[in-house]
């Protein structure tokens, strides 16, 4: 595609969704211009940190995360860094590589409770199966690793073998080697590696990196292109915003999209961290995540996850983590513009644990983790377990609901699974921003496609659900209005 041609589609963002869209749309003959705020990756020259085993090393690669983005997780907590992927591949180049689909009820609820016709489990399952990113089973590692010890004790207590990316359903609980987005040689495979690299071989595809989009240019309620941060206007027949659940709503807000739901409904999976001083250090260059456990609080199926992290990277050698995460959350936050300047990141407030039901369910997960940490398998691995960054032992955490809730409100973090800020739904629902194929209500030729359109987070790490959504929307792209 020459610089003088107006593309059929501008895709803002080369993350998991943007890469899929660029490939699928261009394969149907559409000309596509991909605009990415971060750096490129030349085919065959993937940075060592991204290509390696540890996602901590990937996060340290220059330019691969938004440097100034901060967020408040729980009301009363300080704002601190929120690690979002930046550059081609987006968060798929820096995440922990876990592949999960979510539960059948997640997507049936989208259709039943949020009016997302065509997004039931029956509708979305074929698109999960269409995803081309490979999944390979991790090795849980030596018995001295947290993941291996957790696997051992859970299996001893009757937890079933991990079902891979598939729904847990009524099984109750499972544990086992994590399914990771790696090839058979153990190298990370990002969305860019499969989808964008293939798309780039087509003459009608152009990828431009290190450019920041300010806003969508709108004339007479119709998108006509985009305006970059330096004021450059680029025309297009259609624009799709795929900048992620933090930056996509920010672009819409700067574009004066006035749907009340823009920037609202912010969600993430709350995570309670238990820091483990390792009896035997683990190399920071090895896989940090090898094992995954899913279980129920008793309130909802498959609503809790245990994620053992065998090491915390080079900066925290000798320590690991056991995260207890709530995968079905009811709390909602929001993002707001701090400035009309696109160089200034938005104000991000997750409002985690604002719904008491989330505290109750996550508290059950903490109790399960405490029980497991008393097992010989995990005691062999952990010389100490701490509930904060200043060395307070787990034994200091009280047993009452109030004490656990107080600790959760002070220490709960996130899974970096932001979603919900441009939610999909029926036009009659004022909280809905886009329709069932990502088209923004009230503006022609403008779509959103990333985790921001999820009306509710699925019970899964978000990489595969995002790619599923992009596969589905690309397939239905030419659906008549």
* 253 pLDDT above the threshold of 70: yes
The CATH fold assigned to 139-177+271-328+353-411 is Cholesterol Oxidase; domain 2 (3.30.410)
So what's the pLDDT on residue 3? 47
Q: What's the whole-number mean pLDDT along residues 337-341?
A: 97
Confidence of residue 314 (pLDDT cuts 50, 70, 90): confident
Q: Do domains 9-59+83-102+188-266+418-475 and 139-177+271-328+353-411 have the same CATH topology?
A: no
The string of pLDDT tens digits covering residues 28-53 is: 999 999 999 999 998 778 998 999 89
Q: How many angstroms separate the CA atoms of 331 and 367, rounded?
A: 21
The string of pLDDT tens digits covering residues 419-433 is: 999 999 999 999 999
Q: How many angstroms separate the CA atoms of 178 and 150, rounded?
A: 12
Report the SS3 class of residue 23. Answer: helix
Spatial strand order of the sheet with 213-219 comes to 213-219, 222-228, 233-235
Contact of 23 with 228, CB cutoff 8 Å: no
* 461 pLDDT above the threshold of 80: yes
Q: Kindly report the length of the chain.
A: 481
The string of pLDDT tens digits covering residues 80-125 is: 999 999 999 999 999 999 999 999 999 999 999 999 999 999 999 9
Distances in whole angstroms, Cα of residue 6 to Cα of each of 3, 222, 349, 422:
8, 16, 38, 27
pLDDT over 90, % of the chain: 92
* 394 pLDDT above the threshold of 80: yes
Q: Where are the domains of the chain?
A: 9-59+83-102+188-266+418-475, 139-177+271-328+353-411
Q: What are phi and psi of 92, to 5 degrees?
A: -70, -10
Q: Where are the alpha helices (DSSP H) in 279-437?
A: 356-373, 376-381, 401-411
So what's the pLDDT on residue 4? 57
CATH number among 3.30.465.10, 1.10.10.10, 3.40.50.10300, 3.50.50.60, domain 9-59+83-102+188-266+418-475: 3.50.50.60
């Amino acid at each position: 595609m020459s610089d003088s041609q107006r593309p059929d589609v501008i895709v803002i963002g080369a993350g998991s969704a943007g890469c899929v869209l660029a490939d699928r749309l261009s394969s149907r003959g559409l000309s596509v211009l991909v605009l990415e705020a971060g750096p490129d990756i030349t085919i065959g020259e993937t940075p060592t940190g991204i290509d390696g085993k540890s996602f901590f090393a990937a996060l340290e690669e220059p330019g691969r995360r938004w440097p100034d983005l901060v967020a408040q997780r729980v009301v009363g907590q300080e704002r601190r860094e929120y690690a979002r992927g930046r550059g081609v591949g987006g968060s798929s180049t820096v995440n922990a590589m876990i592949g999960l689909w979510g539960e059948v009820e997640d997507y049936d609820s989208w259709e039943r409770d949020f009016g997302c016709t065509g997004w039931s489990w029956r509708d979305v399952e074929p698109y999960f199966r269409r995803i081309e990113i490979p999944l390979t089973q991790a090795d849980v590692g030596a018995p001295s690793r947290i993941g291996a010890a957790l696997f051992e004790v859970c299996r001893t207590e009757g937890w079933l073998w991990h079902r891979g990316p598939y729904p847990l359903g009524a099984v109750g609980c499972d544990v086992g080697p994590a399914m990771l987005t790696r090839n058979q040689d153990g190298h990370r495979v990002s969305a860019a590696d499969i989808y964008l690299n293939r798309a780039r071989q087509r003459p009608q595809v152009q990828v431009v990196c290190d450019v920041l989009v300010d806003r969508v240019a709108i004339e007479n309620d119709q998108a006509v292109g985009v305006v970059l941060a330096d004021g450059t206007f680029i025309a297009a027949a259609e624009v799709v915003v795929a900048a992620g659940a933090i930056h996509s709503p920010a672009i819409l807000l700067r574009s004066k999209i006035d749907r009340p739901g823009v920037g609202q409904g912010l969600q993430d999976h709350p995570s309670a961290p238990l820091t483990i001083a390792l009896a035997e250090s683990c190399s920071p260059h090895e896989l940090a995540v090898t094992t995954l456990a899913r279980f129920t609080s008793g309130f909802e199926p498959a609503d809790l996850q245990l994620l053992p992290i065998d090491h915390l990277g080079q900066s925290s050698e000798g320590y690991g983590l056991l995260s207890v995460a709530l995968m079905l959350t009811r709390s909602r936050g929001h993002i707001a513009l701090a400035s009309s300047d696109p160089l200034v990141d938005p104000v991000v407030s997750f409002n985690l644990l604002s719904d008491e039901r989330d505290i109750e369910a996550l508290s059950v997960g903490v109790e399960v983790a405490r029980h497991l940490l008393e097992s010989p398998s995990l005691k062999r691995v952990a010389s100490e377990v701490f509930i904060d960054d200043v060395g307070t032992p787990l034994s200091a955490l009280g047993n009452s609901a109030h004490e656990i809730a107080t600790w959760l409100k002070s220490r709960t973090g996130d899974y970096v699974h932001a979603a919900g800020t441009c939610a999909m739904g029926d036009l009659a629902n004022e909280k809905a921003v886009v329709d069932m194929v990502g088209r923004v209500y009230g503006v022609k030729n403008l779509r959103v496609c990333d985790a921001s359109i999820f009306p509710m987070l699925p019970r899964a790490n978000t990489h595969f659900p995002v790619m599923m959504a992009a596969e589905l929307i690309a397939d239905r792209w030419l659906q008549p209005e």
